[in-house]
Chain A
Amino acid sequence: DIQMTQSPSSLSASVGDRVTITCQASQDINNYLDWYQQKPGKAPKLLIYDASNLQRGVPSRFSGSGSGTDFTFTISSLQPEDIATYYCKQYDNLPTFGQGTRLEIK
């Protein structure tokens, strides 16, 4: 099984800050990496697919980068509505999720 190590587990930032989350795979996953946003009591929402592609309708302040085993998710300017938990997921093999990053407003 491919393991996904996501960090940090929680993050506190101010409105307007640049926020970065990382995800490391236990082996090369050929850029088959997504990022999801989950707000309390809601289903996850796809934000970024194939490591760096913005899902239709998602604001451009969200972005993803990386390749091989190391990936980064960035919010360029944090907005109050971005408060959520963020997950990476690989699908090079059977899917596995990262542990999640809980993002809070400072």
Chain B
Amino acid sequence: QVQLVESGGGVVQPGRSLRLSCAASGFTFNNYGMHWVRQAPGKGLEWVAVISYDGTNEYYADSVKGRFTISRDKSKNTIYLQMNSLRTEDTAVYYCAKATGYLNGDFDYWGQGTLVTVSS
């Protein structure tokens, strides 16, 4: 069965960095786009970033552009979100999600989420 397992969340000070991971299993990882979506406490869902099936295309929400980098390692069936220059407004649960297309599409599987808290 398809599984997405996020890790790497925690408490970090403003301005510092953190790297999230999402380990995928149960499907052909190299065939699908992968996304990060976040949810601030008590708020709605916000799309963050996407990486194409082959890793050649990446796109970001304006709120994180220039600070966050999405990547994927096909040898480990894992995607990453490198988060630099973190701000208090980046505090959220971060979910990875599998798309149904090479880049975009429905999000048919989600991870359980990992909490990032940016606080001094």
Contacts and interface: CB of A to CB of B under 8 A. Distances in A.
Nearest to B105: A91
Interface in A3-40: 34, 36, 38
Interface string B98-118: 001000111110111100000
A92 to B, nearest CB: 9
Given A94-B47, A95-B35, A96-B47, A46 B107 contact: yes
Contacts of A87: 44-45
Interface string B78-120: 0000000000000000010000100011111011110000000
A43 B45 contact: no
21 contacts: A1-B62, A36-B45, A38-B45, A43-B111, A43-B112, A44-B37, A45-B110, A46-B106, A46-B107, A49-B100, A55-B108, A85-B44, A89-B47, A91-B105, A94-B47, A94-B59, A94-B61, A95-B47, A95-B50, A97-B45, A99-B44
A99 B100 CA distance: 23
Interface of B: 35, 37, 44-47, 50, 59, 61-62, 95, 100, 104-108, 110-113
Contact of A44 (B45, B100, B104, B105): B45
Interface in A73-105: 85, 87, 89, 91, 94-100
Contacts of B108: 46, 49, 55
A94 B107 contact: no
A97 B107 contact: no
Contacts of A89: 45, 47, 107
A95 B50 CA distance: 9
A43 B110 contact: yes
B50 A100 contact: no
A97 B112 CA distance: 19
